[in-house]
Amino acid sequence: MTALATNMLTAFWVLSISLVLVPGADWAYAISAGMRDRAIAPAIGGMLLGYLTITAVVAAGVGALVASAPAILTVLTVLGAGYLLWLGGNVLVHPSVPTAGDDHASSAMGWLVRGFAVSGVNPKALLLFLALLPQFTSRSGAWSISTQIGALGLVQIVNCALVYSLVGLGAKIVLRTRPKIARTISQLSGVAMIAIGLFLLAEQFPGFTR
């Protein structure tokens, strides 16, 4: 690896970890999972699978085609926003509280699928990957552009895995013995998801906010 490649990789890692450390829907979902027994791993695994899918889409060049089609982006935005509104509403109505039980509603597969939807059906993540990843590639590099994008995407995914795991475990440790605070934090997480969903819709349809 050349010095330039090393510098670019380091710069991308710093930018990536800075973005991952900003609380958002992913944080809210990780916190919610942290208060359920055996939910952290599948929830975070689902989000990582979503980002892996986006990385593959961008590396394959499909992402650029999607980004250039306003109708497709609009559909993705509405789907992503609608899902966040639905998920946030469910968290508000049925806030996560510390529990050692496991039922159908909190099954591993359910947490994984919802986690995938939180990150995978996210036009902001797609556009972010489209805007950022190519900026840290080099046509003179030994690897192809697609391979470089894939490698950078994996760096982002590793950062997400580390930070979201700490967020989920932190919620589990801190809130496990504080059910009242846990309920409040869970509800705030739901509010955050709803707010992000509304923001996505307002940004896509600015006329409705006037």
Per residue in 28-58, pLDDT tens? Answer: 889 888 887 788 999 999 999 999 998 888 8
Residue 25 CA: distances (Å) to CA of 81, 132, 204: 11, 20, 18
Residue 109 or 95, more confident: 109
Q: How far apart are CA 41 and CA 178, in angstroms?
A: 22
Res. 98: pLDDT tops 50: yes
Res. 73: pLDDT tops 70: no
Q: Is 99 helix (H, G, I), strand (E, B) or coil?
A: strand
Q: How far apart are CA 57 and CA 162, in angstroms?
A: 23
What phi and psi, each to the nearest 5 degrees, are found at residue 97?
-130, 155
pTM for this model (two decimals): 0.73
Q: Which of 167, 39, 64, 188 is nearest to 115 (CA)?
A: 39
